[in-house]
């Protein structure tokens, strides 16, 4: 009752102050005011054309992929991001390649942010407080969007432990206050997929032995009311043994990433020093030949920002050490060396100003000046302007128009552009100038039924320059004919489309339905074709429902098939399969359809401990997903055939036990 009276008085005072400031002679009589608010229980309340901050505690009601809540999979259910299929670990935002988007931990890039097949991301959700998602990465050296994980800002008041054990992995997060001004957060996750699913996890009928682990540590210190210091550490490692039997070629992969950063926030000023890296060792071989393909990227950087009112100023610096794909082929006891380690550097200074005009209009304008030094000691200077205009039509919704340019000085390329481990990084310079993009979008958001629901729509357009395409093949690694210079082509790209989203924000049942349609095209040597990840149409449905001790969640995805290049004919040459292909990406795979379900039962508390059982099913409809098409060989019967390749696991059920205290 006291709270309601306070709100009534506060509203009356605000109206009286506004009437007095308007210098009108008319009198204003306020008889009574009732202020009421509806509690939003939505997993996400996102609007088109904006950066959205998502509280990660809310995603636990959605299907946990193999017992793990995954922030990346959650974001892929939004209509502006393309959902990934198995063997597609990439993040594709509004038609951009995986390399164009920033995956970060508190603003620091994390390279290789996915475990094998894209089923797991490298982020243990319980270690983080929230996640920021946006279709435009602000001053991040990327052409596309951003997905940034954030550790908690506040110190935990009491020690706590969150742990879960499932059929395929175990994870835990421990939070401990260290006095009144410091705290420590430790997290770890380890898989044991091979223990129960080792006999079923196959690729093209070939057993695949796979395991991963990732570990996080965050130390927080608040020496004063204005200061916050955070030390972050992340390490992950993977191994995949067995690979594919395609053309009798075996592949073993070992990869890992490392990131550490030191953040210091002092009032409106913040700064970060960091180091981040990714390393891959790939071994490819047949019965007679073998090759080792090492590659890595190490980045050391510093960034700072200051804001006051509507003004924000930022500065960034990064030094890169890059070893591109460096095949070393062992034949007749002789090693053929390939690429050498490259060094490059980049720096930028940015300023952004935003404000409002009256009650209906808002604006923002920014300019980023950049400098890049290539491995060949060539300097590139750039200016990247951006502008944003908003118009609030009140009950009729609001509009937001954005346009600008972006620059990117690092390429990621390889046998695919789907974020798989076999891809490698390459600095601009010798093989192509820095990439650029010109983007524009128009977004519309409408609150429905006094905020119970929201309708969002966005039209977008991106022109991409200095794009890179890798044209090499696996056999080149084994026969000694590999040349990175001959395997690289540069061209341009374009993506455009529409994203639609209808959200239910309140009540026991919340969620959304989303529809996206668009094109993602690339042009090389005068010929235009779809990118490897293009989906012409995609539909997503997400729902969560809570009743008593149960939380239920479900996601449904139906998407058009991605492009592939179909061979016209193939034949044997010296025991190896040789194919003659049609035009690049001239055909499409079958549509991708998947239903995931989740149910969480909250058990009776055990003292201070809260317990829960989580049941989830990945691909509950048992839909057989076509990954790509390839040549299948039967050496014993000397027969070959061309057809689809499927992942050995059709349905993935999971049960996990979770305890928090």
Q: What is the pLDDT of residues 602-622, one digit of tens each?
A: 998 888 888 989 888 888 988
**The predicted structure's pLDDT at residue 330:** 66
Residue with tokens 């009356």: 12
| Tokens standing for residue 347 | 């720096």
Answer for the pair 102, 95: CB distance below 8 angstroms, yes or no. Answer: no
DSSP state of 116: G
Nearest to 254 by CA among 241, 273, 269: 241
Name the pTM for this structure. 0.87
Please report which confidence band the pLDDT of residue 572 belongs to, taking 50, 70 and 90 as the band edges.
low
Please report which confidence band the pLDDT of residue 148 belongs to, taking 50, 70 and 90 as the band edges.
very high
Answer whether residue 104 shows pLDDT above 90: yes
Question: What is the rounded average pLDDT of the residues 269-280?
Answer: 96
| Length of the chain in terms of residues written | 661
Burial class of residue 328 (count of CB atoms within 10 Å of its CB; 0-12, 13-18, 19+) = middle
Answer whether residue 64 shows pLDDT above 60: yes
- Range of lowest pLDDT (141-155, 275-289, 626-640): 626-640
Answer for the pair 409, 384: CB distance below 8 angstroms, yes or no. Answer: no
Question: What is the rounded average pLDDT of the residues 474-483?
Answer: 74
Rounded Cα gap, residues 30 and 33, in angstroms: 8
Question: What is the rounded average pLDDT of the residues 109-127?
Answer: 79
In order of 139, 161, 318, 440, the CA distances from 275 in angstroms are 18, 28, 9, 33
Average pLDDT in the chain = 83
Which own/partner contact pairs does 328-336 have at CB distance under 8 Å and 24+ positions apart?
328/291, 328/292, 328/293, 328/294, 329/289, 329/290, 329/291, 329/477, 329/478, 329/479, 329/480, 329/482, 330/289, 330/290, 330/291, 330/292, 331/289, 331/480, 336/480
Answer whether residue 246 shows pLDDT above 80: no
**The predicted structure's pLDDT at residue 243:** 53
Please report which confidence band the pLDDT of residue 415 belongs to, taking 50, 70 and 90 as the band edges.
confident
Neighbouring CB atoms inside 10 A of 357's CB total: 10
Q: What is the pLDDT of residues 422-443, one digit of tens each?
A: 788 999 999 999 999 999 999 9
- Range of lowest pLDDT (149-158, 306-315, 510-519, 652-661): 652-661
Question: What is the rounded average pLDDT of the residues 444-453?
Answer: 89
**The predicted structure's pLDDT at residue 7:** 37
- Range of lowest pLDDT (85-94, 196-205, 341-350, 408-417): 196-205
Rounded Cα gap, residues 127 and 13, in angstroms: 43
Residue with tokens 């053929």: 336
Rounded Cα gap, residues 91 and 491, in angstroms: 21
Domain boundaries, the chain: 56-660
| Tokens standing for residue 409 | 């000085």
In order of 33, 44, 159, 357, 385, the CA distances from 402 in angstroms are 38, 23, 45, 17, 11
Alpha helices in 211-333 (DSSP H): none
**The predicted structure's pLDDT at residue 276:** 98
**The predicted structure's pLDDT at residue 8:** 38
**The predicted structure's pLDDT at residue 18:** 39
- Range of lowest pLDDT (77-86, 152-161, 491-500): 77-86
Answer for the pair 93, 135: CB distance below 8 angstroms, yes or no. Answer: yes
**The predicted structure's pLDDT at residue 11:** 41
Q: 380-399 burial, b if ≥16 CB within 10 A, otherwise e?
A: bebebebebebebeeeebbe
Rounded Cα gap, residues 420 and 414, in angstroms: 9
* Topology adopted by domain 56-660: Maltoporin; Chain A (2.40.170)
Q: Collapse the DSSP code of 40 into the 3-class scheme (helix H, G, I; strand E, B; otherwise coil) and give the result.
A: coil
Answer for the pair 533, 97: CB distance below 8 angstroms, yes or no. Answer: yes
Answer whether residue 94 shows pLDDT above 70: yes
Rounded Cα gap, residues 474 and 471, in angstroms: 10
């Amino acid at each position: 009752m006291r709270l309601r009276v306070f709100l009534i008085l506060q509203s009356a005072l605000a109206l009286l102050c506004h009437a007095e400031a308007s210098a009108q002679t008319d009198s204003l009589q306020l008889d009574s005011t009732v202020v009421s608010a509806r509690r939003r229980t939505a997993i996400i309340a996102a609007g088109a054309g904006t950066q959205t901050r998502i509280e990660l505690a809310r995603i636990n009601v959605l299907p946990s992929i193999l017992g793990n809540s995954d922030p990346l999979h959650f974001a892929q259910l939004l209509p502006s991001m393309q959902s990934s299929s198995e063997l597609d670990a990439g993040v594709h935002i509004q038609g951009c390649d995986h390399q164009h988007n920033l995956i970060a931990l508190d603003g620091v890039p994390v390279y290789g942010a996915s475990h094998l097949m894209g089923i797991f991301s490298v982020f243990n959700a319980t270690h983080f407080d929230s996640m920021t998602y946006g279709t435009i990465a602000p001053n991040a050296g990327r052409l596309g969007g951003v997905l940034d994980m954030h550790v908690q800002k506040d110190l935990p008041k009491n020690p706590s432990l969150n742990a879960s054990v499932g059929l395929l992995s175990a994870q835990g997060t421990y939070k401990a206050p260290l006095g009144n001004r410091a705290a420590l957060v430790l997290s770890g996750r380890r898989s044991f997929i091979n223990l129960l699913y080792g006999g079923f996890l196959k690729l093209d009928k070939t057993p695949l032995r796979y395991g991963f682990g990732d570990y996080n540590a965050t130390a927080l210190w608040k020496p004063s009311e204005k200061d916050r210091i955070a030390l972050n550490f992340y390490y992950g490692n993977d191994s995949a043994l067995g690979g594919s039997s395609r053309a009798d070629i075996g592949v073993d992969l070992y990869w890992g990433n490392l990131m550490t950063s030191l953040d210091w926030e002092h009032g409106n000023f913040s700064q970060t020093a960091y180091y981040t890296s990714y390393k891959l060792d790939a071994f490819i071989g047949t019965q007679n030949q073998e090759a080792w393909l090492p590659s890595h990227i190490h980045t050391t950087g510093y960034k700072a920002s200051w804001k006051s009112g509507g003004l924000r100023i930022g500065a960034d610096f990064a030094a890169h050490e890059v070893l591109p794909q460096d095949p070393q082929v062992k034949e007749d006891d002789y090693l053929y060396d390939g690429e050498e380690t490259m060094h490059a550097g980049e720096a930028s200074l940015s300023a952004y100003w935003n404000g409002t005009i009256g009650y209906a209009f808002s604006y923002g304008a920014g300019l980023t000046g950049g400098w890049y030094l290539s491995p060949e000691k060539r300097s590139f200077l750039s200016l990247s302007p951006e502008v944003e205009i908003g118009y609030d039509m009140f009950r009729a919704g609001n509009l937001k128009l954005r346009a600008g340019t972006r620059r990117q000085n690092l390429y990621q390329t390889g046998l695919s552009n789907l974020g798989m481990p076999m891809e490698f990084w390459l600095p601009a310079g010798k093989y192509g100038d820095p990439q650029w993009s010109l983007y524009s979008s128009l977004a519309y958001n409408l609150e429905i039924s006094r905020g119970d629901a929201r309708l969002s729509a966005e039209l977008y357009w991106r022109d991409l320059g200095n794009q890179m395409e890798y044209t090499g093949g696996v056999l080149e690694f084994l026969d000694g004919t590999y040349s990175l210079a001959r395997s690289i082509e540069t061209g341009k790209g374009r993506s455009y489309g529409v994203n639609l989203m209808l959200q239910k924000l309140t009540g026991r049942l919340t969620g959304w339905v989303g529809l996206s349609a668009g094109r993602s095209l690339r042009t090389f040597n005068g010929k235009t074709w779809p990118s490897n990840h293009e989906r012409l149409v995609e539909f997503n449905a997400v729902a969560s429902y809570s009743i008593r001790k149960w939380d239920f969640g479900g996601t449904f995805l139906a998407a058009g098939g991605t492009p592939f290049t179909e061979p016209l004919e193939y034949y044997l040459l010296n025991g190896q399969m040789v194919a003659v292909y049609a035009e690049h990406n001239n055909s499409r795979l079958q549509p991708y359809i998947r239903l995931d379900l989740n149910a969480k039962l909250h058990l009776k508390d055990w003292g201070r401990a809260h317990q829960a059982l989580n049941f989830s099913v990945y691909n509950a409809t048992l839909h057989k997903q076509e990954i790509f098409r390839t040549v299948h060989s039967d050496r014993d019967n000397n027969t070959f055939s061309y057809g689809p390749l499927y992942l050995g696991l059709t349905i993935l059920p999971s049960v996990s036990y979770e305890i928090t205290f």
